[in-house]
Amino acid sequence: MNLLIEILFIIVLLIIVISNFIVRNLAKELKNVPNKTKLSGFEIAKKISEKVSSNPPHIIKKKGKYLDHYNYERNVIKLSPEVFDGTDIYAGIIALNIALETDNQKNKIAYFHKFTSFMVILSYLIIVIGALLNNSNIIHFSFIIFILAFLIEAIFMNQYGKTEEDLEETSKFIKTEKILEPYEEIKENTIILLLINIATLPYRFINYFR
């Protein structure tokens, strides 16, 4: 049983490493593609959140790469400088995705991101305790918590609010409001949204201490 847990843990780590590689390369590519609407990430987040939220959030700039997120408890969107000020497709995609989480019907997404982040912190603490006590059972328990956090992000979170109807409605909204152009040409690059939650899982808890 312990061997199976170790194998699963290694597989999860490999997936996270590969996701980081893909996200960083795709981000680098999309940062060189200008958004023809010339809207900054801040403007996009503001425009969308005002449209979908009954209580529009504050939008602030915070240092940190790939740590853009919506804090539902404080009703604040925190964007990195490259997204907040960016007028490229990467900034637009990230700002769009985060602003959509302010929709009252979708704010569970932000809740579960926080939940999995603290699951990761817990797994780190338990693995340290296990190492100090030289107890393999405690260490394997920490692996299980980390794996569960990964599964929530990889399976549940990437499906929530992304039915075919939801995606079609979002696509129509982007075109009508002229959020991203040319949208059809970069539509497939929204894969970055599916991978970024996995790629940042090991260190996303930093969001809640800054």
What burial letters (b/e) apply to 48-57, b meaning 16+ CB within 10 Å? bbeebbeebb
Q: How many domains does the chain have?
A: 1
Closest CA to 179 of 44, 46, 82, 58: 44
**Banded pLDDT at 141 (limits 50, 70, 90):** very high
Query: Model's pTM, two decimal places?
Result: 0.84
Return the pLDDT at 175: 75
Tell me the mean pLDDT in the region 72-83.
92
Domain residue limits at 175: 2-209
Query: How far is 51 from 31, CA to CA, in rounded Å?
Result: 26
Task: Match 């996303």 to its residue by tokens.
Answer: 204
How much of the chain, in percent, has pLDDT values that exceed 90? 43
In sign, the C-alpha dihedral spanning 96, 97, 101, 106 is positive
Structure tokens at 46: 């503001």
Closest CA to 144 of 8, 14, 3, 18: 8
**Banded pLDDT at 63 (limits 50, 70, 90):** confident
**For the segment 6-22, what is each residue's pLDDT rounded down to a tens digit?**
999 999 999 999 999 99
Q: Which residues pair with 100 in a beta bridge?
A: none
Query: How far is 82 from 88, CA to CA, in rounded Å?
Result: 9
